[in-house]
Structure 1
């Protein structure tokens, strides 16, 4: 069975054109949604995918109605594959996993996306290493200045004040003081 999914981004837009195209493509059921594609949670898309059974095909008028990015498209295609369902875009004939050519194209896209993820990870870790070598510190700024740490150390070591009371005085937690002393 062909199952349609139609989406528009705003309440002011109309689903009629998509619905007509999906009906012409013999969709037995059409799930409709008025929600931004940038939203990760699209309840009707989730319902449409949950509705699919082995051998069904999810049909969309255009891929941008279905996915926010190539990675999102590949994730959705994987979910469809896991239930034995296909994917078909009316506007992009190459995006039809019910054909060998469409499966090949999606496989190539998956390979490119995986390669790009690997490159991003590699560049990120190289950039972090270079920044650390230059002395860049990652994470939130220290809650205490070096002067405050020296003052706290003096209060605790010389005057015998309890760590908890010095932490309260400085407005930080005891563990913040201990970390500052380790640095």
Structure 2
């Protein structure tokens, strides 16, 4: 059977690829013109190759003769690629972690800015504690959801 994807390989939802994987039976061989036509990245390629192998089928590329999971040598090459991809992922995670720590040390704040200023939180607490308004009413006056106000109250020290 022929499966021709009309959607770019960079998209995650590719209906023809999903159909191909659903139609696979043991002993089938998926043949692609080039591996980059099948997957967006090495990680994606290895994931798709694993799904094909789980179905009992093989993968073969016309342009890359080394990419042939129907032979022991081809399976070994893909296994080596899987190890390299895993190593690359761990390096990226380490670099990202280091970058975040360095940015935090410099005082960079991550995430969106706070919705309420400390003065607004103090005002809302006064409305609730001293004027007897509900949290829902105080939140409506400030233009936020009541859960935002509850979170702000929990982060701030209680007033004496």
Both proteins in one fold, TM over 0.5:
yes
Aligned equivalent of 1:54 = 26
Is residue 140 from structure 1 mapped to residue 112 from structure 2 by the alignment? yes
Matches of 1:156 and 1:49, distance apart in 2: 58
Query: What 5-or-longer segments of structure 2 have no aligned partner?
Result: none
Distance in 2, Cα, partners of 1:134 & 1:175: 31
Residue of structure 2 in register with 1:93 after alignment: 65
- Segments of structure 1 that go 5 or more residues without pairing to the other structure are 1-28
Q: Does 1:116 align with 2:88?
A: yes
**Structure 2 CA distance for partners of 1:104 and 1:167, relative to 1, 3 Å:** same
CA deviation profile, 1:65-104 (whole Å, cap 9, x unmatched): 1111111110110001101111100011111111222111
Q: Cα RMSD over matched residues?
A: 1.8
- The yes-or-no answer on 1:176 pairing with 2:148 is yes
1:67 paired residue number? 39
State the TM-score, normalized to the length of structure 1. 0.76
SS in 2 for 1:30: coil
State the shift of 1:116 in Å. Answer: 1.3
Q: Deviations over 1:89-135 (max 9, x none)?
A: 00111111112221111111100111111122222233333333333
Question: 1:77 matched to which residue of 2?
Answer: 49
**Equivalents in 2 of 1:44, 1:157: separation in Å?**
60
Aligned-partner Cα distance in 2 for 1:114–1:105: 14
Secondary structure of 1:59's counterpart equals strand
The higher-RCO structure (CA 8 Å, 6+ apart) is: 1
**Post-superposition CA distance 1:37-60 (Å, at most 9, x none):** 122122222222222221211001
CA distance in 2, matches of 1:85, 1:176: 52
Structure 1 or 2: larger strand share?
1
